[in-house]
Structure formats: structure tokens, C-alpha cells
A and B are shown apart, each in its own frame.
Chain A
Amino acid sequence: EADIYQTPRYLVIGTGKKITLECSQTMGHDKMYWYQQDPGMELHLIHYSYGVNSTEKGDLSSESTVSRIRTEHFPLTLESARPSHTSQYLCASRTGTGGRDTQYFGPGTRLTVL
């Protein structure tokens, strides 16, 4: 069982609000990832981190930003939410020590921007 948590699970907010989606893992994993997934569509990598103080943008352009101040914590922030940001956001982590090590996913945050 993977110990990776995301809050909130569901969020409905108005346009222009600043929001932070939380992601925490208690497995001591170095590598963490954020994916965005629209209903019925594929997962797109939007951010990743090799470890503390490391953040990189993924394949899909995103207006969000991330930070990695502590190993266990990888929050994602939207400075000004828009309806186009409505989606499911999935956080994942892995040890990064070998090819076989599995990438575990959190339960996701379903965001709706009105």
C-alpha cells in the first residue's frame, strides 16, 4: 500500500482565486511528479522533482508552479485559476533507485473552476 496523500480531494472555486494542491508522501521517495488528466483522457506530466530544491516542467505546458522544500512535500500552486484549469491532478512518487521501482499515485484532486 502506497502512503501518498493529496488534499483536497475535491475543490470547486471561482475564477481568479489562488489555490494550492497539497501532496505528501511518507515513503522517503526522492522523485515526485504531478500529472494532469481530463476525464477519459491520458495523463500528462506537468511537473517533476528529483529531490529537495529540484523542480522541472514536464511535457505539458502548465500555468501552475511547484516547490520542493522538504522531501515528503510537493505542493502545486495556481496563482489565478481559470475554467481551463478544470481537471484531475494526480501526484506520484518513486524511490528513483532502480528501474523496477514502482511509481505510486495519490488519490488525486478533482478541481473545478467556475
Chain B
Amino acid sequence: GQNIDQPTEMTATEGAIVQINCTYQTSGFNGLFWYQQHAGEAPTFLSYNVLDGLEEKGRFSSFLSRSKGYSYLLLKELQMKDSASYLCAVRAHQAGTALIFGKGTTLSVSS
């Protein structure tokens, strides 16, 4: 089976940097995704990692260590609009290679 853990809530201020951690246990690992979800809306894709290391995309970066079953999402120069839930998801070989999601981390950005 799969198990994905991430903190429930985090708070930060505008302009700051925040790191959201995710640990996972899965069989047949086939990639790790980060999604952003605003309240009442559908998740939108942020990043993808399948090899160890850092992937950078603008203000967002994501890191993966497969041996440790660990990933983090780094958000820089925080803006108020970054207040949302951030979902860590793992793709496994089973279940139609669907993404299996963690509970998500609710990030609140204040001025």
C-alpha cells in the first residue's frame, strides 16, 4: 500500500520562504507530484520529480530523495495568493498509475 505524510498546516509572511515536507512509503514508485489547491477548486499541477535532486520552476522548487522516501516543495518570495493547500502525490505502478494523494498542507500567508 501507500502512505504519504505531510504537515497539516503552516503559516508564513509575505516575501518569506517556506518549505513543505512530504514523506512517503510506496511499492513501485513511479514519480512524485506536487499540486496546489485553492479552497473549493480543483488541484493544479506544480511540479514533478522522478529522479533524485532539485527541480526549479520560477518561485517554486521541488526536491526528491528516493532512498529516504522524502520530498519537499520550496516556495520563495511568498505572495498572498500562495495561500492554498499543497498536495503531495505519488504515482505507483498499480491502480492504473493513478496519483495517490496525501492529506495536503494548508499554507496561510499573511502580510
Which residue numbers of A lie inside 8 Å of B, CB to CB?
Answer: 31, 33, 35, 40-43, 45, 48-50, 56, 58-59, 90, 92, 96, 99-100, 102-108, 110
Contacts and interface: CB of A to CB of B under 8 A. Distances in A.
Contact of B44 (A35, A40, A48, A105): A105
A41 B98 CA distance: 18
Interface residues of B, number: 24
A17 B77 CA distance: 49
Contacts of A102: 33, 45, 48
A49 B96 contact: yes
A99 B96 contact: no
Contacts of B48: 100, 102
Nearest to B50: A99
A42 B31 contact: no
Given A59-B95, A100-B31, A41 B45 contact: no
